[in-house]
Amino acid sequence: IAGITQAPTSQILAAGRRMTLRCTQDMRHNAMYWYRQDLGLGLRLIHYSNTAGTTGKGEVPDGYSVSRANTDDFPLTLASAVPSQTSVYFCASGVAGTSYEQYFGPGTRLTVT
Amino acid sequence: GENVEQHPSTLSVQEGDSAVIKCTYSDSASNYFPWYKQELGKGPQLIIDIRSNVGEKKDQRIAVTLNKTAKHFSLHITETQPEDSAVYFCAARNFNKFYFGSGTKLNVKP
């Protein structure tokens, strides 16, 4: 059982380019989340999904979009990357409505130049 | 939205001593308060959590306390060991969203 996988591990991206960060979980969790982690700011929620087919905005959604076509996958897209989106991105999954526990992936380090 | 504040930002203790990290939250509707440990280069790992209808929870050397009236909760680590050195984050769940504190870097000196 892999848990949560994220790809790529790291990426350097030119400003203005489009980028999709991938997240896959094999735990059949109904809820999935995307966070960004910046030094001194902890983790901030970008978007979330309580179940396949639904998504919601978090604290910092601008410049990002998500989709949830099935239970296992929750890709995060940057339509036109800007340097302020340089960060470490973490995907998480959990069982919304019951335990509330979240399990995090290993992260993607993104640098926008 | 919810606002979670965490203190201290850094904490250095001697091996075997206790460590306490404190968090406050602003919205009384928050109902679940997890604590995460993050080691360098890895994702956060859930170490203990508490729901709003419980005042205290313990798991071996780790305990969490919650004071709903004052809107604060704390992580207590007893008999600290060098492998406890990491960054610890508190969080609050508020209407399907999680809000995190800014983290505490714990250093346990051998």
The residues, ordered by sequence, that sit 6+ positions from A59 with a Cβ below 8 Å of its Cβ are: A44, A45, A46, B1, B97, B99
Q: Is B83 helix (H, G, I), strand (E, B) or coil?
A: helix
Q: Using CB atoms within 10 A of its CB, is residue A104 exposed (0-12), middle (13-18) or buried (19+)? A: buried
Can you give the pLDDT at residue A42? Answer: 86
Contact list in A for residue B101 (CB cut-off 8 A) is 42
Can you give the pLDDT at residue A104? Answer: 95
pLDDT tens digits, one per residue of B21-80: 999 999 999 999 999 999 999 999 999 999 988 899 999 999 999 999 999 999 999 999
Range list of H helices, B1-110: none
Contact list in A for residue B100 (CB cut-off 8 A) is 35, 42-44
Nearest beta carbon to residue A96 from set B36, B96, B100: B96
Can you give the pLDDT at residue B42? Answer: 93
Can you give the pLDDT at residue B15? Answer: 97
Can you give the pLDDT at residue B52? Answer: 87
- Residue A39: CA count within 13 A, CB half-sphere: 3
* Mean pLDDT per 10-residue section of chain A, whose length is 113 residues: 89 97 95 93 93 95 97 97 97 82 94 97
Confidence at B95, pLDDT banded by 50, 70, 90: confident
